[in-house]
Structure formats: C-alpha cells, structure tokens
Amino acid sequence: MSDPTAASSGPALDQGAETRLDDSRKQDKPRSLGSDAWRELRRKPAFTISLAIILLVVLIALFPGLFSHVDPNAADINHARQGPSGQAWFGYDVQGSDMFSRVIYGARASLLVGVLSTIGTVVIGALVGIIAGYYGRWADSVLSRFADIFAGLPFVLGAIVILMTFNAPGSNPGEVRIITQVVLSIAVLSWPVAMRIMRAATLVAKQQDYVKAARGLGAGPMRIIFRHLMPNTVAPVMVYATIALGANIGAEATLAYLGIGLHAPVVSWGVMISDARDYFTVAPHMVLFPAAFVSVTVLAFVMLGDAVRDALDPKSR
C-alpha cells in the first residue's frame, strides 16, 4: 500500500513535519542484538552473582597463595579427620592435611581440567559441525554418523574404558599424563553435542542472503566459513561451552570419585572427594567442602550460560 521508504524523498512534507519525523525516529532507533543483550544481562542478578563467583574461583586458581598460607600437602597424622575448627576452618583430611588449604589449591587442577576439556570439546565439535553444515550432502551424512558413534557411547562407561585401557590397574601415571588423559576422554566423549549445535546454527546461517551473496560473488569456502558463518554461529556454541565448562568440572570430580581420574599427589576437588569417599559417615566434612566448591562453581557456570542464552534469545523475553 503506502511505501514507507518514500518518506525522505517526499516533497509534499512541510518543514515542520520533516523535523518531527526525524525526532520520532531518533527515539525509536533500533538497538543491536548485542547491546540489547548486554543491557538485559546487567540487570540480572543471576548474571552478576555467577560472574562474581567465577572471577573469585579463577583468582583462587591463579593465586592460591593469596588465600591460604598452609602447605596443602603438609600432613600431621595427629589431626587426621578432625572436624572444622578455628585452626583449620574446613577441618583436616584423612592424612591430617588442612582441608581449607587443599580446597584452595585444588581449584587450579579442577578448573584446568574443566577449561581444557571444554576447549577440546568446542574446537572439535565446532570444526566438524561447521564443515558438516556448510558442505551438507554426503559430508554431512558421514560426519553426522561419525558423531553419532561417539554420542552412542555412555559417558561414564566410555571414560572408564578409555582411562583404564591407557592406565592398567595398579600403574601410577604421572601428573601431566593423567590430566591430559582425563581432558581428552571428556573431550572425545562430549564433542558430538557441540557439533550438533554448530551444525544446526550453520544450516540456518547458510540460508542468510548475505552468505548466498558472498558465495555468488565467488568467495571461497574458507572465507565464507570464517568471515561469514563463524560470527553468526559462535553464540550458541559459546553458551553451550559455558554450561559444558561447569559440567566438565563435575565430570572431573565424578571420574576421580570412581578412582580412575586424577589422583594424589595432584590436588583437585575430585581427588579430595575420592579420598573422603569411605569416611562419608564418620567425617562428612571431608566430602562436604570439596563437594560444595564443585557444586557452587558448576552452578556459577550453568547460571552464566543460562543468563547469556536468555539474553541472546529475544523470544524468551
């Protein structure tokens, strides 16, 4: 019917009307999705709280010495399994080491495993996903089935088989080796989720006119993938990564709990929980404190991911 774009070229408008039109436009100026999401995020308590917790945990992991002056491996058997006191806020573990200090020093390994395995998951998943989504057809079929193979492996069982294959029972692999193995096991077993998210996002982005236009103008696949597709598909994967980071910290604890993940002399929350497993009824504080740190950290990451996803999704408002 009427053509709204004709507004500025319309000779029939008198001067006064013209300026008023401009005024009303200025106020209606559309905000970009990004700045809108940021505005939305800042007023959410869940976002600020989780961000504060995450920053604190990162700080603890980077500079544990700031928070505790006690050597986490110093053990005094006389204090073994003593509960919390003014001396040792979180009590002592089965060896008589200070729990508070161990929880503080344990943050680094737990966070490291979480971060590295998430990077692994996202890098593998995103690459495979974007290739499957972009090329489609048989490449998509092959890669999707390949992802299904790993998705079909139950997570805990798969991790047990992998870790036990590479570390025969009774062997005592070094610190770096076991961390690498745990990180890789988690990444190998969880990348299909990231792949599916990336593939779905790519399929949508590929249909956008500017991508079709870029292809029509002769842009190569690498350029289209990295310059045009990536920026539009990265958001959902990053949201997943935040939540997965939390989940992977929990996975580290679970594997350690089963006795196949990290173990002494590495200090991690999972190792502490695993050490305390048999004393749960006599000395619950030994499980309680590391478990609380795991839970709160995971909670913070999941909450952050939730908040970001809600903010990015205009439909949820």
**List 149, 176, 217, 222, residue binding other proteins (CB under 8 A):** 149
Give the Cβ contact number of residue 113 at 10 Å. Answer: 29
Cβ distance 308 to 237 under 8 Å?
no
Q: Using alpha carbons only, how large is the chain's radius of gyration in Å?
A: 26
**List 250, 266, 283, 311, residue binding other proteins (CB under 8 A):** 250
Cβ distance 303 to 119 under 8 Å?
no
**List 30, 65, 152, 265, residue binding other proteins (CB under 8 A):** 152
Give the Cβ contact number of residue 50 at 10 Å. Answer: 25
Cβ distance 129 to 199 under 8 Å?
yes
**List 99, 109, 291, 311, residue binding other proteins (CB under 8 A):** 291
Torsion of CA 214, 215, 221, 223, to 10 degrees: -10
Determine if 16 is a binding residue for other proteins (CB under 8 A).
Answer: yes
Measured CA distances, 20 to 1, 7, 8, 16, 25 (Å)? 23, 12, 12, 6, 9
Determine if 303 is a binding residue for other proteins (CB under 8 A).
Answer: yes
Under rule CB under 8 A, which residues in 168-187 are in contact with other proteins? 168-169
263-282 mask for other proteins (x: CB under 8 A)? ----------x------xx-
**List 262, 302, 308, 312, residue binding other proteins (CB under 8 A):** 302
**List 179, 298, 304, 311, residue binding other proteins (CB under 8 A):** 298
Which phi and psi angles does 75 have, rounded to 5°?
-125, 135
23-62 mask for other proteins (x: CB under 8 A)? -x--xx----------------------------------
Determine if 241 is a binding residue for other proteins (CB under 8 A).
Answer: no
Determine the interface stretch with other proteins among 64-72, 126-134, 157-165, 231-239 (rule: CB under 8 A). Answer: 157-165
Q: Which two tokens stand for residue 105?
A: 């020093």
* 66: region left, alpha or beta (phi > 0 left; psi from -120 to 50 alpha): alpha
Torsion of CA 9, 15, 17, 20, to 10 degrees: 100
| Interacting residues with other proteins (CB under 8 A) | 1-4, 6-7, 10, 12-14, 16-17, 20-21, 24, 27-28, 145-146, 148-150, 152-158, 160-162, 164-165, 168-169, 246-247, 250, 253-254, 257-258, 273, 280-281, 284, 287, 291, 294-296, 298-299, 302-303, 306, 315-316
